[in-house]
Structure 1
Amino acid sequence: MVNDVLAAIKRRRSIRAFTEAPVTVEEVQTVLEAAVYAPSAGNQQLWHFTVIQNQQLLADLNVRAKAGAAQIDNEHIQQLAKNEKFNIFYGASTVILVSGKVDGMAIEADCAAATQNILLAAESIGLGACWINLILFAFAGEAGKQFSQQLGLPPRYKPFYSVALGHKKVDSVNIPHRKKDVVNYIK
Structure 2
Amino acid sequence: MSEVITALLERRSIRNFKPDQIKASELETIIKAGQFAPSAANQQSWHFTVVQNSDLLTRISKAIRNIFLQSGNPAYVERAKAENFSPFYHAPTLIIVAGDQKSIAPEPDASLALGNIQLAAHALGVGSVWVHSLRQLFTSEEGQALNQELKIPEGYTIFGSAALGYNAGATPTAPPRKEGTVTTIK
TM-score bucket (shorter structure):
over 0.9
Q: Which runs of 5+ in 2 are unaligned?
A: none
Match of 1:177 in 2: 176
CA distance 1:15–1:81, shift in 2 (3 Å): same
Q: Identity, % of aligned pairs?
A: 38
SS in 2 for 1:130: strand
Match of 2:126 in 1: 127
The CA deviation string for residues 133-169 of structure 1, in whole angstroms up to 9 with x for no partner, is 1122233232233112211222211211011000111
Distance 1:147 1:158 in 2: 13
Match of 2:89 in 1: 90
CA distance 1:141–1:175, shift in 2 (3 Å): closer
Match of 1:167 in 2: 166
Q: Does 1:47 align with 2:43?
A: no
Kindly indicate whether the alpha-carbon contact (under 8 Å) linking 1:69 and 1:81 is maintained by their aligned counterparts in 2. yes
Match of 2:113 in 1: 114
Could you tell me how far 1:17 is from its partner in structure 2? 0.4
Match of 2:4 in 1: 5
Superposition map of 1:12-161 within 5 A? 12-161=11-160
SS in 2 for 1:169: coil
Kindly indicate whether the alpha-carbon contact (under 8 Å) linking 1:18 and 1:91 is maintained by their aligned counterparts in 2. yes
CA distance 1:64–1:7, shift in 2 (3 Å): same
Distance 2:65 2:79 in 1: 8
TM-score by length of structure 2 reads: 0.94
Could you tell me how far 1:104 is from its partner in structure 2? 1.7
Letter in 1 for 2:130: W
Could you tell me how far 1:106 is from its partner in structure 2? 0.9
Q: Which runs of 5+ in 1 are unaligned?
A: none
Query: What RMSD over aligned residues (CA atoms) do the two structures have, in Å?
Result: 1.3
SS in 1 for 2:160: strand
| Count of residues in correspondence between the two structures | 186
Distance 2:82 2:18 in 1: 22
Distance 2:66 2:140 in 1: 12
Letter in 2 for 1:52: V
TM-score by length of structure 1 reads: 0.94
Distance 1:145 1:76 in 2: 24
Letter in 1 for 2:175: P
Between 1:41-50 and 1:139-148, the stretch displaced more is 139-148
Kindly indicate whether the alpha-carbon contact (under 8 Å) linking 1:102 and 1:158 is maintained by their aligned counterparts in 2. yes
The CA deviation string for residues 4-43 of structure 1, in whole angstroms up to 9 with x for no partner, is 0111111111100011111111111111111011111111
Distance 2:75 2:32 in 1: 35
